[in-house]
Structure 1
């Protein structure tokens, strides 16, 4: 019986589903370049990933591998997230094993060790959301100073980019009477809204981009169910003429622009599990394909590209300013 037990342990180790980390050399990246990817010169390049932390399940691993290639191909500067960083109930602490199994062991490619600028999703609030901020002191690449914060970047040509990373959870009226999201309502939403206004009013940046979790328009599961958060944020975004809003929450890739609006609305929430989408009156693009967005900002252009886990650009959209 003891011998059988030893063989059982060895077998368990041998067939362990843990993700083996491949080691890639330069030739790997040359042969796995993303088909159709545009690489603008003199631009700020970053990736937008959403709804992703699932312990390597669903499509999380192939998406992570393609992100590594995209970062190399674009010579990208950083990665940002649209929330729901850890399913289904966030993390318990900075020592939660999920940090290793859902983040460190998955996004281990050499080109993914640039700064990550996260935001919080509703699933993150089911756990210890403060631990995600505190992990900033543990990891060099995880840069999460507060539940909402701003970053400014100067382009090679001298123009500036303002990025606001906001926490849409306490701003969403849908969560006011939902017990599992009670923690979101303990945050000072009015203070954050005032801060967003102040940042946008004070900025002289040519480009203004906002990253959050909840979409204001959706071609997916929540079609017709986003009016409450839209009522809170859209007047501010339109008033201050931000260029683009990136959200997650929906497990797909979308570009929406309703008539009469100036803001471009993107959803990048296809980091692991997927859900169906449909073509709506405001849909420019919507596809239930695993992947992420890349953004390239130069003095006169903001280029968004949706990239699949299958080594292919699915969609491109360019905003131009003189």
Structure 2
């Protein structure tokens, strides 16, 4: 099924070749070998009892496996590993299938086929540290990685980042590493789309995996498909149809939602992390969002989690240029507010924006929200990579009839966010890449009522292009 879905979603790589660090040919970390690489953990199934792992090898590795064991202090945990057979598939990088026909990539961007492998480790104990390793060809093992299963309930922290997209190895690498320094206990990393600039180019994924290194293997990812994970199926296609990168499904093993159309399998999904948290992922690249809207509404109504987070790439409330999505807002905002979603995490606009909405009071708070105020939903747009846009001149003033109020904004900065959940409190802190706090909120929930306990939004001064270092749009 995974192979079929990959073929259906494949697209051509017939795109201009971009220079890479001087364009001296493929870097040594790009080519697939007998050794496993691009190892990434994700969620599939109950995170308290399972997690998934995917990795890559050369195409001649057609069958392989992984091992898992309790991460005890004993020196030879490798003697206790339980073996799990991998699901393997071949991915052609020089010729892919789109709309039923083969399309070749440009000759100077071609690579040999690769094999992608994945496993799901099941039957695990909640809130328990496990060690695992994955194999390439026979005897070619990765190092042992450690990751912890979700608790049934209890305090957790996780990391959220907006678009990495450009300069991923050179400049985004410091953001993901700074995020780990700020939250080494993070249970997962949520990537809100545009992980790379051109989702069909293998070199860009090579850089993404190298930038995060062992973090991808130890801290499970919740990836969101952005518009840059989609490419035109055929440059000559007058309809300009876009298809999901042929690398997405092989390299991220994600939940399959039977109630959703095939086109969004493994790009729209739910992670029921614990009794305290449900995360719902949408694919806002689709021309028809109605099936996802219906699915989300049903999922939210059925959710029993204390906190519910929705993540998508395109923001409900735009924060940059002429990038507004009125149709998406008209469809999704009523569902978010009717179901009292706590937090909406987004990317796309390459700025920082955080706003609050009180669905019960449509008149906006002109002076903003203060500690003690009630609220319904917090909306965040953020960017973790070096590509930056100017903030909308009108801010969120034109969205005022909805009741939303922009509380904090920023330009010309790479950000990451650490979010904590502890019983009836949700804490949110945004940091710049140098580890300095830029924004902080604490929300307390008592029954159906949510109140602001903390709303730090003035220090340091608001980042703008005119009060920060000179900026030049990157050409990576």
Q: Hey, what's the Cα distance between the residues in 2 that align with 1:221 and 1:18?
A: 39
The structure-2 alpha-carbon separation of the partners of 1:312 and 1:235, relative to structure 1 and needing over 3 Å to count, comes to same
SS at match of 2:328: helix
> How many corresponding residue pairs?
255
* Structure with more of its chain in helix, by fraction: 1
Q: Hey, what's the Cα distance between the residues in 1 that align with 2:156 and 2:319?
A: 29
Q: Hey, what's the Cα distance between the residues in 2 that align with 1:144 and 1:71?
A: 26
Given that 1:69 and 1:111 are in contact with CA atoms closer than 8 Å, whether structure 2 keeps it comes out as no
Q: Hey, what's the Cα distance between the residues in 2 that align with 1:56 and 1:215?
A: 22
Partner of 1:242: 341
Q: Hey, what's the Cα distance between the residues in 2 that align with 1:270 and 1:152?
A: 25
Write out aligned runs for 1:221-236 (5 A).
221-222=321-322, 225-236=324-335
Partner of 1:283: 406
Q: Hey, what's the Cα distance between the residues in 2 that align with 1:117 and 1:192?
A: 18
Deviation at 1:280, TM superposition (A): 4.1
* Structure with more of its chain in strand, by fraction: 2
**1:86-122 CA distances to partner (integer Å, 9 max, x unpaired)?**
10x3125xxx232212x11111255873101101111
Partner of 2:320: 220
Q: Hey, what's the Cα distance between the residues in 2 that align with 1:49 and 1:133?
A: 21
Matched, 1:47 2:159: yes
Partner of 2:6: none
Partner of 1:100: 206
The structure-2 alpha-carbon separation of the partners of 1:105 and 1:57, relative to structure 1 and needing over 3 Å to count, comes to closer
Larger RCO (alpha carbons 8 Å, 6+ apart): 1
**1:161-215 CA distances to partner (integer Å, 9 max, x unpaired)?**
1110111111xxxxxxxxxxxxxx3xx6332222111111111112111010111
The structure-2 alpha-carbon separation of the partners of 1:123 and 1:51, relative to structure 1 and needing over 3 Å to count, comes to same
Given that 1:253 and 1:270 are in contact with CA atoms closer than 8 Å, whether structure 2 keeps it comes out as no
- RMSD (CA atoms): 2.8
Unaligned runs of 5+ in 1: 1-11, 20-41, 138-142, 171-184
Given that 2:168 and 2:385 are in contact with CA atoms closer than 8 Å, whether structure 1 keeps it comes out as no
Unaligned runs of 5+ in 2: 1-21, 30-153, 233-243, 257-265, 363-375, 398-404, 447-476
Q: Hey, what's the Cα distance between the residues in 2 that align with 1:160 and 1:111?
A: 24
- Structure 1 residues 63-72 or 233-242, which shifts more? 63-72
Given that 1:218 and 1:256 are in contact with CA atoms closer than 8 Å, whether structure 2 keeps it comes out as no
- Structure 1 residues 46-55 or 284-293, which shifts more? 46-55
Partner of 1:150: 270
Partner of 1:64: 176
Write out aligned runs for 1:111-150 (5 A).
113-126=218-231, 128-136=244-252, 143=254, 146-150=266-270
